[in-house]
Structure 1
Amino acid sequence: MNEPKEITEAKAIIQKFQELRSEISKVIIGQDEVVEQLLISILCQGHSLLVGVPGLAKTLLINTLSKCLGLQFNRIQFTPDLMPSDIIGAEILDENRKFKFIPGPVFANIVLADEINRTPPKTQSALLEAMQEKAVTAAGHRYKLPLPFFVLATQNPIEQEGTYPLPEAQLDRFMFNIVLDYPSRKEEIEIVKRTTADILPTPETILTSEHIDKASQIIRQLPVTDVIYEYCIDLVRKTRPTESKAPEITKKFLNWGAGPRASQYLVMAAKAYGFLHGKFTPDFEDVRKMALPVLRHRIVRNYQAEAEGLTTDDLVRKLF
């Protein structure tokens, strides 16, 4: 019996994404979970924030991903003296003494905001409109950005000197907060072997923007049971200290919790995670797998949580 056309197309897309992961692994050693979360955010048309100490290949990972997707890529190195016009562009007088808009590096499919917390909040906020509206405004004129459009930002741990906390409004625009950890001993040996050899691997283009659009459409059409909707929403509402049914741990350790955007992203992420693993409707396990990257940057600990050494990840896990 022949499969429906939609099922066949979906399986072909899943196979393409498996090939994409294999291609990325030629350059990036380990970090399988990080790569998977990045792919899920792209499938959901979302932005991601990568957090880790310097030297964990955050920039290389995003650069490799853009090459494998065949998308236009720009990197913005965030520094303390970076201005908003350095990101979105500015109007200049041309040779005919007429104003002409010169697009900034934000005009690309994938924008790497490298070390985003090295620049003050005024410049960080220049990305807000681009991330939410996929357009920018300069000198009273609105300019649409090329589609698809993703901001993938890297950030050093906030405790390090010379960093500025991201505004809560901007943090909420990121679908995922992805944490990179040190590689294992075996992985580090392989990293050093590859990067000190004469020939470095070059990734090939595996997917195109058409593949991404098609996969995004399929994921949006996947059915979700009411039980999963309720599970996602109840989990997010548990993070709010003002909620009447909030657990004691929330009231004791959190200043405030996640908003409705977290519920939306959690459902979408669970659908995309399940899809990449061959499921055409998400289950509880898919939601649990996606809860940490969706929620960890949307809840704010109080002083008591910090004094007791509880991280946001600890608190999200306890809410399960």
Structure 2
Amino acid sequence: MTLAFAIVRRLSRVFLLMLLAAMGTIVLMRFSPGYYTDIRELDPKYAQSANTAIETEENQHGSLAAIARNVFAGWLHGDLGRSRQYDAPVSELVRPRIGVTLSLLARSIVNGWLIAFAAALPISTLRRGATLVSAPFTLLLAIPTGAMATVSLLADTGGPVLVLSLILAARDFKFLARLFRVAWRAPHLLQVRAQGMRFHRVIRTFILPNVAPQVFALATLSLVTALSAVVPVEVIFDAPGLGQLAWSAAMNRDLPVLLTVTLLMAFAVACAGMVSERMRPLETA
């Protein structure tokens, strides 16, 4: 398989995923209750005129084909649309929030991996009691993200970074522990350890190089886990990021904003999957 064909295939996969995410968002939003609503309906003076305007808009632009056509036409001209809720360009709403979410994701992924790595490496060497020692991570996996964030907020302990870090650590711990456990049982390592090589040298020379490709692939997929948890975490902690913006847009039927945030997250997920896909070079993909 040529390099050009491999690049085109992977880029096509990213484009297809983003297209499906866009169409899914449009369909779900269009048929959600209250899509065509107006605050003027609450005022008796404007209720009749508002109903007439909404009915006219629905007849003209209410079909899925019309909505999709208007959205995609705007994107081709570099226009992300205008927010129904804030009456402002979507780009102005999204741009300052990207940095907040990226900072939260980056710190959480680093901290989560440090916790998982520091726990998985020594536990993987245990012959007995590993299941009992790993119980806290198993318990963390069973706690919903929203519940963990709520407890942290009510206890006034930690914050969004801590909650996301614990979620990532709980998920990645079991994979890392399994990788290290398999690596420790390799025949050549048994011989090396029998010869009395020091623990830190065994890790540096044999363990880490053997598990590096799998660890790197798993690290890229941590972004997917973090993105799935960032919305409830930002909403509960009132962090002004993309997750909070997406939640607000969904509650207020703000299709242009929700669609933009959805596509940004879909692009990040697609890129993470593309990077981690078997960690093979493009020439051999």
TM class by shorter chain equals under 0.3
- What TM-score does the superposition give when structure 1 sets the normalisation length? 0.22
More strand by share: 1
More helix by share: 2
Structure having greater relative contact order (Cα 8 Å, sep ≥ 6) = 2
Larger CA Rg, structure 1 vs 2: 2
